[in-house]
Amino acid sequence: MRFVGRTTAAVVEFPDRRILLVKRLTIPFRSYWALPGGRVEAGETVEQTVVREVREETGLDVEIVRKIGEYSERGFKDGVEYDYSPACFLVKPVGGLMRRQESEVEEMKLVSLKEIPAELAFEHSRMIQDYAASVERK
């Protein structure tokens, strides 16, 4: 199986500095904790995608605070070849009710940076590290 293309990810930061992680039902993320986000659709900007994907997966309306970074991910893990370019954003919730998208999300949880689980999706650990470094500089 191959996973390719342009994607987004969101560090959804709550006022107490906890962030939201999701455990997806879909390959290649199954059984890993990850940041909400997804594939950029035709005619969408990465900014539009991250807002849409967070709303779809978590029920939350969010506002973009800033871009954390652009990443390039290539490799092979758990039978999945991946080659894609995620853009990661720091976002804050501004409305909606937190609820998981039952067709794609198995579980959601809020965690502090000290509570980040070991079963973190391979491509999201660097995004969270970059976010954590920016928090430490404040």
Active site residues: 107
Alpha carbon of residue 133 to chain centroid: 17
H/E element holding 54? helix 46-58
Report residue 47: phi and psi, to 5°.
Answer: -65, -45
3-state secondary structure (DSSP) of residue 16 = coil
* Gap between the Cα atoms of 119 and 111, Å rounded: 13
Alpha carbon of residue 40 to chain centroid: 13
List 70's β-bridge partners, or say none. 87
Burial 58-80 (b: 16+ CB within 10 A, else e): bbbebeeeeebeebeeeeeeeee
